[in-house]
Structure 1
Amino acid sequence: MTTQPPEAERLQHLLDRLLRGVLLPAEREQLAVLVRELEARAHTEAAVARGNLGVAKDFMAATNAAEARIRDLKAEVARLTAGQCTHALAMCEQHHAKPVAGCPYPRCRAATATGRAPTA
């Protein structure tokens, strides 16, 4: 058996008396106070929920921006790695065991075309 908070029990009691048509004037005022408190609580909770939704949207936007930045940085690393290969064949051989798109040396170009690992 679950126990209700005293205010919930009091609200149930007052509503029952209202429905039976035996609510006293003092009880009407008590009922009105309880209803106003519930309304204020509902407005507060709604405001908190809206605030939480705003925070969640901001977090998602920041996450999306961070993921886009990561993609951009990975593309830049790949571009710079390929650019190093144009500087010296030794750099090509030193820096990537897997073929790199854009590397101009035959070793990477052939491996990229065949999908196999480059050979020295």
Structure 2
Amino acid sequence: MTTQPERLQHLLDRLLRGVLLPEEAEQLAGAVRDLERRADVSDAVAKGNLRHVKQLIPAVRAAEARVHELEAEVSRLTAGQCTHSLAICETHHAKPVPGCPYPRCVAARATGRAATA
């Protein structure tokens, strides 16, 4: 038993050689109509997916902006803690924090290395 793609290849080969029987011509036409229907369905699904993705883009951008806001707030609060306690600076942030006044963070910001390394 042949698979559908193999049968389609066989029918196309017979068509190109000019030996396609009328029954085979009907089979080939049916296969082409089926492929057209499947392509139309796939196209509709793809367009629906594209619309959905386009609708999500503003929400994703808003979420990314919120993440950046929260990261900035964490940095601000961490730097504020550093002004009150060297222990906070030494233990609570591995990355240099903008605004931290302690030499460790100042040096780490200048070199790009970890503040607690």
Q: CA deviation at 1:41?
A: 1.7
Name the counterpart of 2:89: 96
Name the counterpart of 2:67: 70
Name the counterpart of 1:18: 15
Name the counterpart of 1:80: 77
With normalisation by structure 1, the TM-score equals 0.54
Aligned length: 104
- CA RMSD in angstroms, aligned pairs only: 3.9
Structure 1 unmatched ranges of 5 or more: none
Q: How does 1:29-48 map to 2 (within 5 A)?
A: 29-48=26-45
Report which structure shows greater RCO (CA 8 Å, sep ≥6): 2
Contact (CA 8 Å) 1:100, 1:112: kept in 2 or not?
A: no
Structure 2 unmatched ranges of 5 or more: 109-114
Q: Structure 1 residues 49, 4: closer, same or farther in 2, change over 3 A?
A: farther
Highest CA radius of gyration, 1 or 2? 1
With normalisation by structure 2, the TM-score equals 0.55
Q: What is the aligned-residue identity percentage?
A: 55
Aligned partner of 1:25: which letter?
Answer: P
Q: CA deviation at 1:83?
A: 4.0
Q: CA deviation at 1:74?
A: 1.6
